[in-house]
Structure 1
């Protein structure tokens, strides 16, 4: 199992997505935890590394966990993405590892990973994503 943490940040019914250098699909900002890290510590570190903004740990709220087949891996390898809402300071800008950021709506579902598709469907059903 690949265990990831992701940040949900919305603007006008769209969610912020990031695309790594050399990749074709977008994902929600975040990533894998380092040994001993909590979900909150992972979220703060990964979002700072990817988007140059500071998550306010006191505002982190759970938004759900989602699982799907891991993209580009052998059959049976699953990725679990646990999503969080959180307030932040700064302006999201791509770091050196991120080639592009974009505001994504449900119509962009085919541009995200397999687990991203499940998350996008859930966000649409709950009225957060247009």
Structure 2
């Protein structure tokens, strides 16, 4: 089994909706973020990925730690992820860039899509909205 070290963000808009992203040629909706490059800490990796994927510049102090989680990778067979997950408020709209094909907003109480990544389904959503899931 391979384990990937990733950093991901729960990004919320002004109405408390959570941003989900889907990469090109995949089915799973996940949190924005990605793999850390050699020598990068989680915050550095996440701010780089958010810039690449969403053209979003967030200061490190805007990202609040949510937790460290282990889950099956959504798009890679026989692979686990060790994810450092942070949360932040979005001050402006974002758009898909780089390998992202689709953005979707999930509001508290919405029925999540069946195609949620395991990290979201098993760890993040139950922590963010325990009464809803």
| CA contact 1:3–1:80 (8 Å) conserved in 2 | yes
Distance 1:27 1:66, change over 3 A: same
Equivalent position of 1:114 in the other structure:
118
Distance 1:55 1:88, change over 3 A: farther
* Moved beyond 4 Å, runs of 4+: 87-90
Q: Kindly tell me the number of residue pairs found equivalent between the two proteins.
A: 126
> Could you tell me how far 1:70 is from its partner in structure 2?
2.5
> Could you tell me how far 1:29 is from its partner in structure 2?
0.4
SS in 1 for 2:112: helix
| CA contact 1:53–1:90 (8 Å) conserved in 2 | no
- Aligned-residue Cα RMSD (Å) equals 2.1
Distance 1:46 1:117, change over 3 A: same
Residue among 49, 67, 71 paired with 1:68? 71
> Could you tell me how far 1:15 is from its partner in structure 2?
0.7
TM-score, length basis structure 2:
0.82
> Could you tell me how far 1:96 is from its partner in structure 2?
3.3
Distance 1:36 1:88 in 2: 27
Within a 5 Å distance, the mapping from 1:14-93 to structure 2 comes to 14-71=17-74, 72-74=76-78, 77-87=79-89, 91-93=93-95
Distance 1:90 1:54, change over 3 A: farther
Give the helix-richer structure, 1 or 2. 1
Equivalent position of 2:105 in the other structure:
103
> Could you tell me how far 1:50 is from its partner in structure 2?
0.4
Distance 1:100 1:54 in 2: 19
Distance 1:109 1:66 in 2: 21
